[in-house]
Amino acid sequence: MDTDQIFFGLNRASDEKSLASFLRLFCNEKLTDVLIPRLEDDEITHLIDLMTNIMHKHLQEKEYHELFLGEEDPHDTLDTA
Quick: pLDDT tens for 18-53.
Answer: 999 999 999 999 999 999 999 999 999 999 999 999
CB 27 within 8 A of CB 36: no
CB 18 within 8 A of CB 7: yes
The pLDDT value recorded for residue 18 is 96
The mean pLDDT value for 44-69 works out to 97
71/60 same-domain check: yes
The mean pLDDT value for 51-69 works out to 97
64/75 same-domain check: yes
49/31 same-domain check: no
The pLDDT value recorded for residue 77 is 56
The pLDDT value recorded for residue 62 is 95
12/46 same-domain check: no
32/44 same-domain check: no
Whole domain around residue 5: which residue ranges?
A: 1-38
Domain count, the chain: 2
Long-range contacts formed by 16-25: CB under 8 A, 24+ apart:
25/1
Q: What pTM did the predictor assign? A: 0.77
CB 61 within 8 A of CB 68: no
28/47 same-domain check: no
